[in-house]
A and B are shown apart, each in its own frame.
Chain A
Amino acid sequence: MRWYWIDRFLEFESGRSAKAVKLISMAEDHMHDHFPGCPIMPNSLVVEGMAQTGGLLVCEHTGFQAKVVLAKIPKVQFHLNVSPGDTLTYSAEIDHIDDNGAMVTATSHHGDRLQAEIEFVFAHLNSGQRDRTLFEPETFLKMMRMLGAFEVGHAADGSPLVAPPLLTGKGS
């Protein structure tokens, strides 16, 4: 089982912003317990989906070289509940990024309605903090491909987004 809480990227502008869609389905197991007879998408999983949208954006900016972890959520606000049949669009934007990590702001919309807004701090772990690899490059490559990032994405210069050498194994 993989922990995917977005279904597809709609936009992916390297180093700047990304937009992803999440289709909410009654087939998701947690809907039957959250809550019995009244399925509501857990806000924690909305947060996870927004973090994946922003986190992959940050990872891609470093060529997937940095070990990126979600360090902190300074602010989060939810405006409405969503249920099976609803579609959420997550938009993430990099406010600041450097060798230490990144700040990302993100929103979730249900149609035109603002569903949630959030601020993330991602940290880049240095080698002194963790020696082991958090994810294998193939895992990222598979995620980016499955989520359509290379179909809709653009590099910083506007050219089509391509997998970095680390992921393809050509040059690392």
Chain B
Amino acid sequence: MPTKDEIFQKIRTALVDALGVEDDEVTEEATLVVDLGAESIDFLDIVFRLEKAFEIKIPRGELFPEDILTSSDYVKEGKVTPEGVEELRRRMPFANLDGFAANPNVQDFANLLTVGDMCRFVETKLEVTS
């Protein structure tokens, strides 16, 4: 089981390779979309690199639950419903969704995910695997 710092370093390498950003731009607080410029297709690239680096399997939608955000059951008039927010919390225990829950605009969701969230996601996956 790698240490938290080892996990962060591997994630930093994956993000530098996938997004073409500099090492020092990848901080725990940096958001993937706003700060590091990730676009939707980059998430596939990032997931592949994480799977390879940590020898884990990340099913589609686990890191970034796009299916919830495009579901007519969970999204009404551009906002995620309370049931949708609840489902997001269940699926993304590694992310702090309190701010989003207060004003759950779908468009703002992509801006939430941070490098720190990704570290916690991988830590959870590795704990489950081991």
Contact = CB atoms under 8 A, between A and B. Distances in A.
Interface of A is mostly: strand
Given A96-B48, A100-B60, A72 B41 contact: yes
A26 interface: no
Nearest to A71: B41
A103 B48 contact: yes
Nearest to A126: B60
Contacts of A95: 52
A123 B52 contact: no
Contact of A74 (B17, B51, B57, B60): B17
Given A74-B18, A99-B60, A100-B60, A121 B51 contact: no
Nearest to A121: B45
B7 interface: no
A121 B17 contact: no
A96 B18 CA distance: 15
A77 B47 CA distance: 23
Contact of B51 (A98, A123, A126): A98
B44 A100 contact: yes
Contacts of B17: 74-75
Nearest to A100: B60
Interface size class of A (residues with CB under 8 A): 10 to 19
Nearest to B42: A72
B44 A101 contact: yes
Contacts of A99: 60
A57 to B, nearest CB: 16
Contact of A72 (B45, B47, B57, B60): B45
Contacts of B45: 71-72, 74, 103, 121
Given A98-B57, A99-B60, A100-B44, 11 more contacts: A71-B44, A72-B41, A72-B44, A72-B45, A74-B17, A74-B20, A98-B51, A100-B60, A101-B44, A121-B41, A121-B45
Interface of B: 17-18, 20, 41-42, 44-45, 47-49, 51-52, 57, 60
12 contacts: A71-B41, A71-B44, A71-B45, A72-B45, A74-B20, A95-B52, A96-B48, A98-B57, A100-B60, A103-B45, A103-B49, A123-B44
* Shortest beta-carbon contacts, A-B, top 7: A121-B45, A103-B48, A71-B41, A96-B48, A72-B41, A100-B60, A96-B52
